[in-house]
């Protein structure tokens, strides 16, 4: 039975928003819970959109966070296909695109992120794609099927996680794939060159072509369809479809217009403390849009990963209920490409680590890579090695110095790793 005296509103019907709604009920909140999302689909998970769903192996029903009937059963008032266009903080009121006004006692912003757009000629052609929503995946899937049948070419701008996963799916359809990337290796800004090279090799073995050190400069086409692309170093590549996979930008416009503090720096996001509170004590943020001011790994830190949406939504819900919350989880990401599955924990972009140490068989792609600074583990990537994430994250969290040689020895269980020998 819902008591109407307290109303908690969640803006954003993605994973963070829907998991926050679930957590409010699980924690015993009996007030109104209103979840507003601008997509028409019920909240769903996005990782399959570049993996099983795109490849055609995952059914549509499998991507949804809850069955549609779950929301009514949990007394969640779900507004789908509705955009929140204004946040009036002094009045504690929201305005929807259709003019509806809603008052809140506590508000959670879980507005996620949106794909960055290419700012070059030709991006309005119909066969230029982005990948964030189910509808994007449906369209891309149709095109990959056609490309596979016609030996057509897909050009992907960006060798990040999504670009690489789509490259793998496209090769499985039989499409020709060229990936254009300004850095010298894939995933360079996340993993650095050492592991980036491994991903380049993996994809090249599967027939993907890379053009490193260049950006797309122009897309040429006719009748809405792409015919070729030109890179800024003057090369031309055949193309029938182009995917812009150049990252995502947090959806902060609502927060910004309402005068909430935003995070400094290029990553942006709505600034939150470790309890996921924004600069307004009645407004919280979680998921891709939230940027933690400080974390044990430095800050500001905005994490655009599934596990962060899964965990920070419920953490924000508990915080809205007045519970003590310190959200300091180790960043975690997973990916599947061809027959290679991997999990990455931690944070170690180039410039933050001084060596990469591997244990296991790198050539067979069954290993764990560790990024170290001063013998302390900053991050770990397990590739086709499973059930080690907790141990890897313990090493990261503990900050204990480890001996790199012992770390590389697969016969020493990770939990037994001792401190590095004294070098003095």
Ligand X SMILES: Cc1cc2nc3c(=O)[nH]c(=O)nc-3n(C[C@H](O)[C@H](O)[C@H](O)COP(=O)(O)OP(=O)(O)OC[C@H]3O[C@@H](n4cnc5c(N)ncnc54)[C@H](O)[C@@H]3O)c2cc1C
Is the Cβ–Cβ distance between 365 and 202 less than 8 Å?
yes
Least Å from the CB of residue 46 to ligand X: 3
CA pair distance 287, 305, nearest whole angstrom: 8
- CA-nearest of 303, 50, 45, 288 to 156 is 50
Q: Which CB, 84 or 378, lies closer to ligand X? A: 84
CA pair distance 53, 296, nearest whole angstrom: 35
- CA-nearest of 410, 407, 94 to 255 is 94
Least Å from the CB of residue 65 to ligand X: 9
Q: Which CB, 135 or 225, lies closer to ligand X? A: 135
Least Å from the CB of residue 151 to ligand X: 25
Is the Cβ–Cβ distance between 200 and 210 less than 8 Å?
yes
Least Å from the CB of residue 349 to ligand X: 17
Q: Which CB, 116 or 376, lies closer to ligand X? A: 116
- Residue 272: how many CB atoms within 10 A of its CB? 29
Least Å from the CB of residue 294 to ligand X: 20
Percent helix, strand, coil in the chain, to 5, is 30, 30, 40
Given the rule CB under 6 A, which residues bind ligand X? Answer: 11-17, 36-39, 46-47, 49-50, 83-84, 110-113, 131-132, 162, 251, 254, 287-288, 304-307, 309, 333-335
Locus of tokens 């790198």: 362
CA pair distance 367, 198, nearest whole angstrom: 12
Q: Which CB, 231 or 337, lies closer to ligand X? A: 337
Least Å from the CB of residue 331 to ligand X: 9
Least Å from the CB of residue 101 to ligand X: 14
Q: Which CB, 110 or 167, lies closer to ligand X? A: 110
Q: Which CB, 52 or 410, lies closer to ligand X? A: 52
Is the Cβ–Cβ distance between 233 and 268 less than 8 Å?
no
Cα 146 to its chain centre, rounded Å, is 28
What are the residues whose beta carbons fall under 8 Å from the beta carbon of 184, sequence distance 6 or more? 193, 196, 212, 213
Q: Helix or strand or coil: residue 122? A: coil
CA pair distance 76, 79, nearest whole angstrom: 10
Q: Which CB, 51 or 230, lies closer to ligand X? A: 51
What are the residues whose beta carbons fall under 8 Å from the beta carbon of 56, sequence distance 6 or more? 141
Least Å from the CB of residue 133 to ligand X: 7
Q: Which CB, 38 or 176, lies closer to ligand X? A: 38
- Residue 372: how many CB atoms within 10 A of its CB? 22
Q: Helix or strand or coil: residue 88? A: strand
Q: Which CB, 39 or 176, lies closer to ligand X? A: 39
Least Å from the CB of residue 172 to ligand X: 16
Q: Helix or strand or coil: residue 22? A: helix
The token pair at 49 is 């959109």
What are the residues whose beta carbons fall under 8 Å from the beta carbon of 409, sequence distance 6 or more? 359
The DSSP symbol for 117 reads: P
Least Å from the CB of residue 90 to ligand X: 19
Q: Helix or strand or coil: residue 78? A: strand
Least Å from the CB of residue 91 to ligand X: 17
Q: Which CB, 22 or 304, lies closer to ligand X? A: 304
Is the Cβ–Cβ distance between 254 and 114 less than 8 Å?
no
Q: Which CB, 80 or 362, lies closer to ligand X? A: 80
């Amino acid at each position: 039975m819902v008591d109407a005296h307290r109303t908690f509103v969640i803006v954003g019907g993605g994973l963070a928003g829907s998991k926050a709604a679930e957590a409010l009920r699980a924690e015993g909140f009996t007030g109104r819970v209103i979840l507003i999302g601008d997509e028409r689909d019920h909240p769903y998970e996005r990782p399959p959109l570049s993996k099983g769903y795109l490849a055609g192996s995952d059914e549509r029903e499998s991507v949804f966070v809850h069955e549609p009937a779950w929301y009514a059963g949990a007394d969640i008032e779900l507004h789908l296909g509705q955009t929140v266009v204004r946040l009036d903080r002094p009045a504690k009121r929201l305005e929807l695109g259709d003019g509806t006004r809603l008052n809140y006692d506590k508000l959670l912003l879980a507005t996620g992120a949106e794909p960055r757009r290419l700012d070059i000629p030709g991006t309005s052609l119909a066969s230029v794609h982005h990948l964030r929503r189910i509808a994007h995946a449906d369209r891309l899937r149709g095109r990959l099927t056609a490309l596979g049948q016609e030996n057509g070419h897909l050009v992907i701008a960006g060798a990040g996680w999504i670009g690489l996963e789509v490259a793998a799916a496209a090769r499985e359809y039989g499409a020709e794939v060229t990936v254009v990337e300004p850095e010298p290796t894939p995933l360079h800004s996340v993993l650095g060159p050492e592991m980036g090279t491994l991903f380049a090799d993996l994809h090249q073995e599967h027939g993907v072509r890379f053009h490193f050190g260049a950006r797309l400069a122009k897309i040429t086409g006719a009748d809405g369809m792409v015919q070729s692309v030109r890179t800024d170093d003057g090369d031309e590549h055949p193309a029938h479809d182009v995917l812009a996979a150049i990252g995502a930008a947090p959806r902060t416009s609502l927060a910004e217009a309402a005068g909430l503090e935003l995070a400094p720096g290029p990553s942006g996001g709505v600034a939150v403390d470790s309890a996921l509170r924004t600069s307004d004590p009645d407004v919280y943020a979680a998921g891709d849009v939230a940027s933690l001011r400080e974390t044990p790994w430095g800050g500001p830190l905005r994490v655009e990963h599934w596990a962060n949406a899964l965990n920070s939504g419920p953490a924000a819900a508990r915080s809205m209920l007045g519970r003590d919350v310190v959200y300091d989880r180790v960043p975690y990401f997973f990916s599947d490409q061809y027959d290679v599955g991997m999990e990455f924990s931690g944070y170690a972009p180039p410039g933050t680590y001084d060596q990469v140490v591997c244990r296991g068989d790198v050539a067979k792609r069954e290993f764990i890579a560790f990024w170290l600074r001063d013998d302390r583990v900053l991050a770990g990537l397990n590739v086709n090695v499973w059930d080690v994430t907790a141990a890897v994250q313990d090493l990261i969290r503990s900050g204990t110095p480890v001996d790199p040689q012992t770390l590389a020895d697969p016969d020493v269980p990770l939990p037994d790793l001792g401190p590095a020998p004294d070098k003095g």
